[in-house]
Amino acid sequence: MFKIDKLYHFIAGIIIYLFFLLFLSNVMALIPVIIIGGAKEIYDWKSKKGNPEWWDFIFTVLGGLSIFLLTL
């Protein structure tokens, strides 16, 4: 099963999406979720300070996507 870290990424995706939803349309608010989620994993990879994982990125995007689907 997935670790609690994945839940944190999912929640982060939700928070990022909801924040940008204040300023952008439903579809456009997904873009910052993707960019920030990807940038965080790239930072972890380049800095060697974190543990970059595709699943972290996927769960971040899924968090934003779940709220997007609820707001349709």
Q: pTM for the complete prediction?
A: 0.92
Asked if residue 3 has pLDDT above 90, the reply is no
Q: pLDDT by residue (tens digit) across 26-72?
A: 999 999 999 999 999 999 999 988 889 999 999 999 999 999 999 98
pLDDT of residue 1: 61
Q: How far is CA 66 from CA 10, 15, 18, 35, 51, in A?
A: 9, 11, 11, 17, 24
Asked if residue 2 has pLDDT above 90, the reply is no
- What's the number of domains the chain is made of? 1
Domain that holds residue 42: 4-70
